[in-house]
A and B are shown apart, each in its own frame.
Chain A
Amino acid sequence: MTMQAASSASPARALLAWARRRRAWLAALFLILFPLVAPFKALAAMILIYGLYAVGFNIVFGYLGLLSFGHAALFGAGAYFCGIAIVHFGLPWWVAIALGIVGGVLAAAAIGALAIRTRGIYFAMVTLALSQCVYYLFYEATDWTGGENGLTGVDVKTIDLFGLKLDFVNPLVHYYVIAAFVIAALFALSRLLASPFGAVIEGVRESEARARASGFDVSRVRFVTFVVSGAFCGLAGALLALHLSVVPIETLQYDTSGLAVMMCLLGGMGTYFGPFVGAAIFLLLENLVSLYTVHWQLFVGAAFIACVLFFQRGVWGTFLQWSEK
């Protein structure tokens, strides 16, 4: 995404340029108002969490240009680290969330260090294989993770915030606490993308040779980007653990990696807010269609194919492109 010049011809363009500069604020506003329109607050919270997960994935997929099929490991590691901190160590909620971020970073560092040497389709395959290994690791460590049964008992009933006691079981409070973290993350992302490093990331995607010729250590850039992505996905995982109060083992399966890909594509990879839109579309579609028919996968698959064929920029990306005209 390039910076639009403020002095453009039509007011619509000027509005869009202003929106781009204030994207984090607008996103925050949208998320604050979201529960009023969402059918269920629990669903809205899931959209927040998966939206953040997709946004984290998009850093690598859309901005860096690498297709990873292993992001479930980053998401799941974050969820399990947070869950284990609460269940086995009784740590306070904010420590657990911080540990979740650490979990995502560690998983990303481990997978990234090994996968960065490969390119293209091999990168996708290596990340898939390594994340499967992470899955089996967690699956077998039954004493810590609960194995197939999942990690239960991630109970946080009240959030103690500088003396203010929030009832986390209350759906609306629950949503806004999660939203606070997601909004903070979106602000951080916006800063990152607008920074020089953000430009380098996109530069590497556009042309690796030119980036290298300009003096950048491409491998290092890739590795750091992957780890940053791990931090975002780890946070999303930690929030998932708190939201569901369990960590299901399927969080680490390759289906969850595929989910990130789908959401990014549906929404629009390489755009700031696109993955969020994609997550919302996917989850809403899945939930609403489920109410009428058990064959929701048909509609989701068909919608996905339609996007690949006709809306390669995703719903949000296409909308942005259209509004630029």
Chain B
Amino acid sequence: MAGLTLQLLGLQLFTGVALGALYVLLAVGLSLIFGMLTVVNFAHGAFYMLGAYVGLWLLMHGVNFWVALALAPLAVGGFGLAIERTLIRPLYGRGLDYPLLLTFGLSYVIVELVRIWFGNTGYPVDTPDLLQGAVNIGVGYFPLYRLFVIAATAVILLALWLFLERTSFGLIVRAGARDPQIVRILGVNVARVWLIVFGLGAGLAGLAGVLAAPLQGVIPEMGDPILAEAFVVTVVGGMGSLMGAVVAGLLVGVVVSMTSLFAPEMSRVAIFALMAVVLLIRPQGFFGRAGLMS
């Protein structure tokens, strides 16, 4: 292929990691929610979109980007808390399908509400002044903002890891992901844990949305394609496994990036083909536990 240099490959790799960062954030949220609540959250894409729009709304009202970056995920997380409490909690114990179906219908409602409020067309979101421009990372020029996205994701993941490994609440979350019944028998208020985990997952999706907004602008439908990709990542990594979400997220990002270099029109089908292959060879994903929620 003309022009294929080591430099280009290196730059492409970096692009893949940046792409993967958003996938990781979304997949971690999905995995947490599934691992803990065994709920497949079809509204995850809608939470992502909601985060972007809350960020947009804050920016439109003169709030600076950094504050918006902190507030939007909190808002979406709060919304997630409300959703869990009112809509999802009544469905526990009714089988795997019902919460899935509910979140499916919920995504329609959320997207339409945003359409009603903000209209169909979508809005541009400018990159914050501090993060504009490109820097030379050795293999070429790379947009500063994308580097920021990688860094922000790394920081969030570190914080999450510390939370899960070093706090008692985190311990409960990990235990609950492993065996919810035992945790309940041991007297833990599982309902409250689930509430918080759902909110946390929603908040992570919202954060991904705010981070994505300067990259692609906002539009009510932005959650749909990303949801499918996030599912692929979660399943490939193993539903319920956070390590899996991280590894798979980066892998999918790099796969998309590399496919784009050689056969760009195949880049979307490449992810689904990857998922099909992984599921057939190792159905629980890379790091998932075999037999987890069949």
Residues of A within 8 A of B (CB): 67, 114, 117-122, 124-126, 128-130, 132-133, 136, 140, 254, 258, 261-262, 265, 295, 297-298, 300-302, 304-305, 308-309, 312
Contacts and interface: CB of A to CB of B under 8 A. Distances in A.
A64 to B, nearest CB: 13
A112 to B, nearest CB: 13
Interface stretch (B74-82, B100-108, B156-164): B100-108
Contacts of B269: 132-133, 136
Given A254-B228, A298-B112, 4 more contacts: A121-B239, A136-B272, A261-B104, A305-B102
Contact of A308 (B96, B98, B115, B231): B98
Interface stretch (B65-73, B184-192, B274-282): B274-282
Contacts of B139: none
Given A133-B269, A308-B102, A117 B112 contact: no
Contact of B102 (A67, A118, A132, A309): A309
B102 A122 contact: no
B97 interface: yes
A133 B273 CA distance: 7
- 8 closest Cβ pairs, A-B complex: A301-B108, A304-B105, A119-B294, A301-B109, A298-B112, A136-B269, A120-B294, A132-B272
Contacts, number: 104
A309 B91 contact: yes
Contact of B268 (A128, A130, A136, A262): A136
Nearest to A119: B294
Interface in B236-282: 239, 265, 268-269, 272-273, 275-276, 279-280
A297 B108 contact: yes
19 contacts: A114-B280, A117-B283, A119-B294, A122-B279, A125-B235, A126-B279, A128-B228, A128-B231, A130-B276, A132-B269, A133-B273, A136-B269, A136-B272, A258-B104, A261-B104, A262-B105, A295-B112, A300-B108, A301-B107
B12 to A, nearest CB: 22
Contacts of B105: 262, 301-302, 304-305, 308
Interface in B34-78: 34, 40
Nearest to B266: A136
Majority secondary structure, A binding face: helix
A126 B116 CA distance: 35
Contact of A121 (B40, B94, B115): B40
Contact of B111 (A120, A297, A302): A297
Residue among B265, B279, B284 having the largest count of chain A Cβ atoms under 10 Å:
B279
A304 B98 CA distance: 11
A133 B101 contact: no
Interface size for chain B: under 10, 10 to 19, 20 to 34, or 35 or more residues? 35 or more
Residue among A122, A133, A262, A295 having the largest count of chain B Cβ atoms under 10 Å:
A122
Contacts of B112: 295, 297-298, 301
Interface of B: 34, 40, 87, 90-91, 94, 96-98, 100-102, 104-109, 111-113, 115-116, 228, 231-232, 235, 239, 265, 268-269, 272-273, 275-276, 279-280, 283-284, 293-294
Contacts of B283: 117-119, 122, 126
Nearest to A208: B294
Contacts of A114: 276, 280
Contacts of B40: 121, 124
Contacts of A122: 235, 279, 283-284, 294
Nearest to B291: A119
A298 B239 contact: no
Nearest to A300: B108
A121 B293 contact: yes
Given A119-B294, A121-B96, A304 B104 contact: yes
Contacts of B90: 309
A216 B284 CA distance: 26
B101 A261 contact: yes
A126 B280 contact: yes
A306 to B, nearest CB: 9
A224 B265 CA distance: 35
A125 B275 contact: yes
Contacts of B91: 308-309
Given A119-B294, A295-B112, A305-B105, A67 B97 contact: yes
